[in-house]
């Protein structure tokens, strides 16, 4: 089944209702992504809830096939600093580091972030039960047009494309083994 190419940018900072910068809470297997064309999300298979866009037009996506240690799930977290390392590795792959987090729990990004809005794209075909696109993530430019369908195993990806999803999976396995 082909995936949909969705171009956009990865974000760590949004805006509050008052219009002030407000940090998101990324972790090792999800981050905010703002599609250049949000209507492309309507083309994804929907399991239950629809996607939601933040005040800056981003939505949180989940990585396809990756489950990293949780930093915040129903008020709990998994072993730190391993969960922190997973998150920091992800933001590093997207060239968003350094990122400062608000004390005392260090979960929420403290604006400003110098490299917020890193360009990239996702390959997705469905929204999970909570309305988040389940995606492979890439830094760089795609080997196809925005909104094009593409089989994952089709060759011809540009050499400048950084495969973030595969690298995050490798990091998650190293963290789990530690």
Number of domains observed in the structure of the chain:
1
* 95 contacts 160 by C-beta, under 8 angstroms: no
Whether the predicted pLDDT of 69 surpasses 90: no
Note the pLDDT of residue 140: 87
Domain span at 66: 3-177
Tell me: pLDDT of 49 over 70.
Answer: yes
Closest Cα partner for 11 from 20, 3, 26?
26
pTM: 0.85
> Is the predicted pLDDT of residue 36 greater than 80, yes or no?
yes
The residue ranking higher by pLDDT, 19 or 155, is 19
- Max Cα-Cα span within the chain: 46
Strand partners, 14: 22
> Could you tell me the CATH number of the domain that includes residue 44?
2.40.50
Cα(35)–Cα(27) distance, integer angstroms: 19
Q: What is the pLDDT of residues 103-117, one digit of tens each?
A: 988 899 999 999 999
Calculate the alpha carbon distances from 47 to 34, 83, 123, 134 in Å.
21, 28, 17, 11
């Amino acid at each position: 089944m082909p995936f949909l190419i969705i171009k956009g940018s990865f974000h760590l900072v949004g805006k509050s209702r008052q219009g002030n910068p407000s940090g998101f809470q990324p972790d090792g297997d999800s981050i905010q992504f703002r599609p250049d064309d949000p209507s492309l999300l309507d083309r994804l298979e929907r399991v239950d809830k629809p996607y939601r866009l933040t005040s800056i037009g981003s939505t949180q996506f989940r990585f396809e096939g990756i489950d990293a240690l949780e930093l915040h799930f129903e008020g709990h977290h998994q072993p730190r600093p391993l969960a922190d390392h997973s998150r920091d590795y992800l933001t590093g792959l997207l060239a968003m580091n350094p990122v400062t987090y608000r004390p005392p729990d260090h979960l929420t990004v403290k604006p400003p972030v110098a490299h917020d809005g890193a360009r990239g794209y996702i390959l997705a075909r469905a929204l999970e039960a909570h309305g988040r696109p389940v995606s492979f993530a890439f830094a760089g430019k795609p080997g196809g047009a925005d909104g094009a369908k593409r089989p994952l195993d089709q060759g011809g990806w540009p050499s400048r494309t950084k495969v973030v999803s595969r690298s995050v999976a490798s990091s998650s396995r190293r963290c789990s083994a530690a």
